[in-house]
Amino acid sequence: MAKFDYDLFVIGGGSGGVRAARVAASLGKRVAIAEEYRFGGTCVIRGCVPKKLFVYASQFPEHFEDAAGYGWTVPEASFNWSTLIANKDREIARLEGLYQAGVEKNGGVTFKSRATLVDAHSVRIETDGRIVTADQILIATGGRPHTHPALPGHEFCIYSDGVFDLPELPKSIAIAGGGYIAVEFANVFHGLGVETHLVYRGKEILGRFDMDLRRHLHETMVAKGVNIHCENIFEQIEKTDDGRLRAHMKEGQPLVVDQVLLAIGRTPNTENLGLEAVGVEKGKLGDIAVDEFSRTSIDNIWAIGDVTNRVQLTPVAIHEAMCFIETVFKNNPTKPDLDEVATAVFSQPEIGTVGLSEDEAAKRFTHLEIYRAEFRPMRNTLAGRNERSLMKLVVDGSTRRVLGAHILGPDAGEMAQLLGIAVKARLTKDDFDRTMAVHPTAAEELVTMYAPTYLVRDGQRVS
């Protein structure tokens, strides 16, 4: 008889956990996975997927406007928030079903329950108190939005999770933060016709991205009508007599709005999991500490995804799951490779980026060539839209290797995926130059920037 009930028990049914459970089950392992809320986790249920559906919804007003230049007369359009929410809910429920079924079809067992560690090989299924045992345990419990208890009136604020179920579209919103979530939602709400304020404590939105893109996006958002308040912070949120919110900031007049959204980072879900009892060590931010192979301080307990606070992105969690499978079930120890992770911000216009920003590259390389193209995408010409795209390649002047590729403009995320291959493969600018352009596209700029726009030597820009 087997020593344990399962070969693998996974706690958390998000992107990483489900992938690990499904693939392990497909290898013939005896697998169980527990999810306390809904299979699919943050990405599917209250993150990337519904967010992208909202992004699409918010882009239609501009499409309607642009259509006029192409000869179309579009009757006055109206928007129904409840329809969007209901359709989004249906799609999310469909995906949730697929996630759960994917594990079960491969022979895995699913529990709709919270699960907590009892000892290194035992897990309690909290809905019925049953204890099951497993040879290996994988923790993939993800994260949740940071709350902000120090902010007086924080109890009146909403978080990204709540946006997807707001009973009605607010007429005005103030958003705290300058990261992915704050910027994406600022564009979504503005696109849906909501008076939108973005309040960011730093000098420029989207720290960690290339400064050129950050500035350019900021200017474009302001030109569209988003109110961006940099180097500012909320000091107090209070309810007004008519049920709205007055958001007091360090600088300037208070904002009176219908909703205040706090998008100030995410916290790993590590509380009340039994980690302390079993001796699983945590990092400084409450994350689960893991080694390069995703192993925790306990030999047979592993952790992947946002709960480990490495790179908080869905594809990273999935990659970590696949590496875990290689290491644990295929006798092929594999470290997740978290270098040159391509990523997109679904702002409007979109950002797609991979590799080093100019500033980061300048710290590590003495001689850089910067290739930069700024242009109006063809679609915007007849539309009469003045929005401009930006493409930028950061190249090591000594080896000609493309260190970073950065795009702001329509479909930048799609382009970043393909550029990710080129940058990961350590291709050189000469490889880009040898590649035939696809015409007429915006992406052809990436292979037709023959001369550097400027050079950076020892951190200093030279023309």
Query: Footprint of ligand NDP on this chain (CB under 6 A)?
Result: 148, 176-182, 184, 200-202, 207, 233, 263-266, 312-313, 343-346
Minimum Å gap between C-beta 148 and ligand NDP is 6
Token match 């916290």: residue? 267
- Give the shortest CB-364-to-ligand NDP separation in angstroms: 21
Residue 353 · residue 210 · CB < 8 Å: yes
Least spacing, CB of residue 247 vs ligand NDP, in Å: 12
- Cα separation, 364 vs 316, whole angstroms: 25
Distant-in-sequence, close-in-space partners of 212: CB < 8 Å, separation ≥ 6: 358, 372, 390, 392, 406
Query: Which residues 6+ apart lie within 8 Å of 56 measured at CB?
Result: none
What distance in Å separates the CA atoms of residue 375 and residue 369, rounded to the nearest whole number?
20
Q: Give the CB-nearest residue to ligand NDP.
A: 179
Distance spanning both ends of the chain, measured CA to CA: 73
Nearest CB to ligand NDP, comparing residues 85 and 351: 351
Among 218, 229, 248, 439, the active-site one is 439
CB 278 within 8 A of CB 193: no
| CA distances, 389 to each of 216, 341, 408, 417 (Å) | 9, 22, 5, 17
Please count the CA atoms within 13 angstroms of the CA of 16 that sit on its side-chain side.
31
CB 218, CB 205: distance < 8 Å: yes
Shortest CA distance to 272 belongs to which of 115, 137, 120? Answer: 115
Under 8 Å between Cβ of 200 and 281: no
For residue 115, give the H/E element and its range.
strand 115-119
CB of 235 to ligand NDP, least distance (A): 11
Least CB distance from residue 268 to ligand NDP, whole Å? 11
- Please state, in angstroms and rounded to a whole number, the distance separating the CA atoms of residues 303 and 328: 12
Q: Is-contact 321 284, C-beta < 8 A? A: no
Q: Cβ(154)–Cβ(176) under 8 Å?
A: no
- Output 344 or 449, the one with its CB closest to ligand NDP: 344
Least spacing, CB of residue 444 vs ligand NDP, in Å: 25
Q: For residues 302 and 346, which CB has a smaller minimum distance to ligand NDP in the complex?
A: 346
Minimum distance of ligand NDP from residue 398's CB (angstroms):
32
Alpha carbon separation from 137 to 11, 119, 323 (Å, rounded) = 8, 11, 15
Q: Check if 197 is active-site.
A: no
Rounded to whole angstroms, how far apart are CA atoms 307 and 39? 16
In the complex, what is the shortest distance from the CB of residue 219 to ligand NDP, in angstroms, rounded to a whole number? Answer: 18
Q: Give the other-Cβ count within 10 Å of 412's Cβ.
A: 26
Nearer Cβ to ligand NDP (43/117): 43
CA dihedral of residues 271, 277, 280, 284 (deg, nearest 10): 50
Q: Which is nearer to ligand NDP, 105 or 208 (CB)?
A: 208
Sign of the CA dihedral with 379 first, then 206, 318, and 11 last: negative
Beta-sheet strands, E only, within 61-114: 109-111
Please give the positions annotated as active site. Answer: 439
